[in-house]
Amino acid sequence: MAMKARTLRRHLRESFKSLARNGWMTFASASAVTVTLILVGVFFVIMMNLNKVATDLEAQVEIRVHIDVAASKEDQKILGQKIEKIPEVKSVKYSPKDQELNNLIKSFGDEGEAYKLFEQDNPLNDVFVVKTVKPEDTMMVAKKIEKMEYASKVKYGQGKIEKLFSIIKTSRNVGIVLIIGLLFTAMFLISNTIKITIVARRREIEIMRLVGATNAFIRWPFFLEGLWLGLLGSFLPIALVATSYYYLYDLLQPKLSGNFIELLHVNPFIYQISGLLLLMGALIGIWGSMMSVRKFLKV
112-137 pLDDT tens trace: 454 455 455 667 788 888 888 888 78
Burial of 83 (0-12, 13-18, 19+ CB in 10 A): buried
**52 and 197: one domain?**
yes
**181 and 124: one domain?**
no
User: CA torsion sign, 232 to 233 to 238 to 240?
Assistant: positive
**88 and 227: one domain?**
no
Of 96, 125, 155, the domain-final residue: 155
**97 and 37: one domain?**
no
Q: What is the CATH number of the domain that holds 106?
A: 3.30.70.3040
**33 and 90: one domain?**
no
**227 and 200: one domain?**
yes
Of 155, 171, 201, the domain-final residue: 155
Q: What is the pLDDT of residue 165?
A: 75
**187 and 268: one domain?**
yes
197-240 pLDDT tens trace: 666 667 777 777 777 777 777 777 777 877 888 888 888 889 99
Instruction: Tell me the whole-structure pTM to 2 decimals.
Output: 0.65
Residue 4 maps to a domain: no
**C-alpha triplet 276, 27, 218: angle, nearest 5°:** 80
**174 and 27: one domain?**
yes
Nearest to 165 by CA among 144, 134, 142: 134
Q: What is the pLDDT of residue 76?
A: 84
Number of structural domains found in the chain: 2
Residue 1 maps to a domain: no
Length of the chain as a residue count:
299
Q: What is the pLDDT of residue 142?
A: 87
Residue 50 contacts by C-beta under 8 Å, 6 or more apart in sequence?
171, 175
Residue 135 maps to a domain: yes
Alpha helices (H) along 85-214: 97-107, 138-146, 160-200, 202-210
Q: What is the pLDDT of residue 167?
A: 79
**16 and 144: one domain?**
no
Q: Report mean pLDDT in 10-residue bins for the chain, 299 residues.
A: 62 69 70 82 83 76 84 86 88 82 63 51 79 84 86 78 77 80 72 66 72 73 79 87 87 70 81 88 78 64
**73 and 147: one domain?**
yes
Q: What's the CA gap between 145 and 150, in Å, rounded?
A: 10
Q: What is the pLDDT of residue 260?
A: 62
**212 and 79: one domain?**
no
Cα separations in angstroms, 217 against 12, 137, 187, 292: 12, 57, 24, 16
Q: What's the CA gap between 277 and 33, in Å, rounded?
A: 10
Q: What's the CA gap between 31 and 234, in Å, rounded?
A: 9
Cα separations in angstroms, 111 against 30, 116, 125, 210: 61, 10, 21, 89
Q: What is the pLDDT of residue 15?
A: 66
**215 and 272: one domain?**
yes
What residue numbers bound the domain in which 87 lies?
62-155
φ, ψ at 148 (rounded to 5°): -80, 150
Of 108, 134, 155, the domain-final residue: 155
Q: What is the pLDDT of residue 3?
A: 47
